[in-house]
Structure 1
């Protein structure tokens, strides 16, 4: 507290650009080093960001001025890199999912506990104004006691635009593990932890044709289920239906709807940080767009790290490892249920993170007025 959190990034792929743009806006974050298995990529990032050193992975892990490692490697390497960072005495924040399996994720959390360091994990989209405004509406009783939710993500597949989509269609990939963290994290934030799940899954094609880049026209084999449906039973009694697909073409339905005794909410796409929250109450005749009332305004990737930096010592960050572990177990269990045909209990739990009060970065302009409330 009282000084910026020094961050080193391992993994300089495409997603790093979004973090770099926001780090420049966040006074509590100081980027000091980057590393990648391809040294040229790390050098290219460092050349465009003042004061940042390009290093080897081992060099970054050994650097005394790195407090937290931002792990932007591929999912299969998440646990390995996180464990190395923890062994070096550093806190770690990873891209989703926390690890490829819950067994690996448990080792990460146990190691962090023993080392006295902090684990955070994406997605931090749930800290933006979209999900947080919906969360506040629920907390304020605008829909009464929550009864159910639907969460839907439909796309014909990432191979249409991604030049190297192979990993999406191998074990550890698929629509649920790729996109599910956004939706399940949002559902837990709004409705609380999950106690059991039922799942079903299918896939329609044995191969996918790459649509762009130097490998365009190449066929990628499909070794996972590419359409997954799950029913999540929350500890509160609410029931969520989750549909994640790389097979369907499009959906016109909202990304998330929450239904309660007194009304229904339309929640914007949890893959983004903002968007309109709409409310329809019992007895009304039209949907109402709610004013933005909670969350980090004009936020983006990296705000979860700033939130972690502001979390009191000993407290769990809002985008913390326990929530990420619970979300991973829920998704893993939906797939297990799809294979077994039986309901699967969830062993872990996670408290609903505290609401993010409406927060602006200094200098943010809203309706032509400069905001002075600091994050």
Structure 2
């Protein structure tokens, strides 16, 4: 507290550009070094940032001037890099999912607890004004007791834009583990933890064709299900229906809808930090006809947020308190998704063994102010 965390990034792939847009504006973190298995990629990133060094992975992990590793490697490497960083005495904040599976994720959390360091994990989009305004409304009883939710993400596949999409179509990839963290984290933030799931899954194509870049026209084999659907049973009693697909083309419905006893709510796409929250209550219906939706004013969340706000929130969280984009929350989300895939394979309901508290709500605040004036309530 009072001094910024010195950050070293490991993994300079496509996602790093989004973090580089945000990190320079956050006084609570300071990017010091970047590393990648391809040193040339790290050198290109370092050259674009004042005062940032390009290092090998080993050198970055050994650098005593790095407090925290921002782990932007592919999902299969998340646990390996996290464990190495923890062994070097560093905090870790990683891209989603926390690890390729819950066994690896548990090793990370146990190692961090033993070492006395923090683990954080994306997505941090739920800390923005979109999801937090929706949560503020729910917590203040605007829709009454929540009954159900729907969460939908469909796309014809990331190979249409990603130059190296292979990892999306092998175990550890797929629409649920890739995009599901945004939606499941949002649902847990809004409605609380999940106690059981039931799911089904399918796939329509055995290979995918890369749409652009140096490998355009090459095919990628598909060894996983690419359409996953299911029902999440929350501890509160609410039921969420989830659809995650790399097979469908588009949806016209809201990405997330929450239905309560007194009103229904549309929630912004959890892949982004902002967006409109709309409510249709019983007073907006007449003779079973919808009369209109009201857009809620922005009332909560980090303003003008971007990727890396979860890392900044971790940096500002006092010792002994739980940061919002925590490893424990990410573990529960991974457990929910892994249980859903297990249910789809077995054709039966599966209990979710882990539990996670809803992270503290985010007041309407900015993280771009000087550290002495930063707000974290």
Q: Which interval holds the TM-score relative to the shorter structure?
A: over 0.9
Gaps of 5+ in 2: 285-290
- CA distance in 1 between partners of 2:225 and 2:368 (Å): 45
Q: 1:53 to 1:362 in 2, by over 3 A?
A: closer
- Of the structure 1 ranges 201-210 and 347-356, higher mean CA displacement relative to structure 2 is found in 201-210
- Would the aligned equivalents of 1:174 and 1:226 in 2 still touch at CA under 8 Å? yes
- Would the aligned equivalents of 2:26 and 2:368 in 1 still touch at CA under 8 Å? no
**Structure-1 residue corresponding to 2:331:** 325
- CA distance in 1 between partners of 2:367 and 2:123 (Å): 20
Q: Tell me the SS of whatever aligns to 1:24.
A: helix
**Structure-1 residue corresponding to 2:158:** 158
- TM-score, normalised via structure 2 length: 0.95
- CA distance in 2 between partners of 1:354 and 1:374 (Å): 14
Give the RMSD, CA atoms, in angstroms.
1.3
Residue 89 of structure 1 and its aligned partner are, at CA, apart by 0.5
- Would the aligned equivalents of 2:27 and 2:368 in 1 still touch at CA under 8 Å? no
CA deviation map 1:108-141 (0-9, x unaligned)? 0000000000000000000000000000000010
- TM-score, normalised via structure 1 length: 0.96
CA deviation map 1:67-114 (0-9, x unaligned)? 110000000000000000000000100000000000000000000000
**Structure-2 residue corresponding to 1:143:** 143
**Pairing 1:64–2:64 present:** yes
Q: 1:169 to 1:287 in 2, by over 3 A?
A: same
- CA distance in 2 between partners of 1:338 and 1:357 (Å): 38
**Pairing 1:10–2:16 present:** no
- Would the aligned equivalents of 2:10 and 2:35 in 1 still touch at CA under 8 Å? yes
**Structure-1 residue corresponding to 2:247:** 247
- CA distance in 2 between partners of 1:220 and 1:41 (Å): 23
**Pairing 1:191–2:191 present:** yes
Q: How does 1:141-290 map to 2 (within 5 A)?
A: 141-284=141-284, 285-290=291-296
**Structure-2 residue corresponding to 1:309:** 315
CA deviation map 1:195-238 (0-9, x unaligned)? 00001001111111221122222222111101100100000000
- CA distance in 1 between partners of 2:220 and 2:46 (Å): 34
Q: How does 1:357-368 map to 2 (within 5 A)?
A: 357-361=363-367
**Structure-2 residue corresponding to 1:35:** 35
Residue 305 of structure 1 and its aligned partner are, at CA, apart by 0.6
- CA distance in 1 between partners of 2:111 and 2:209 (Å): 41
- CA distance in 2 between partners of 1:5 and 1:180 (Å): 29
Gaps of 5+ in 1: 364-371
Residue 53 of structure 1 and its aligned partner are, at CA, apart by 1.4
- Would the aligned equivalents of 1:362 and 1:374 in 2 still touch at CA under 8 Å? no
Which runs of structure 1 show a deviation greater than 6 angstroms over 4 or more consecutive aligned residues?
none
Q: Tell me the SS of whatever aligns to 1:266.
A: strand
Residue 362 of structure 1 and its aligned partner are, at CA, apart by 5.1
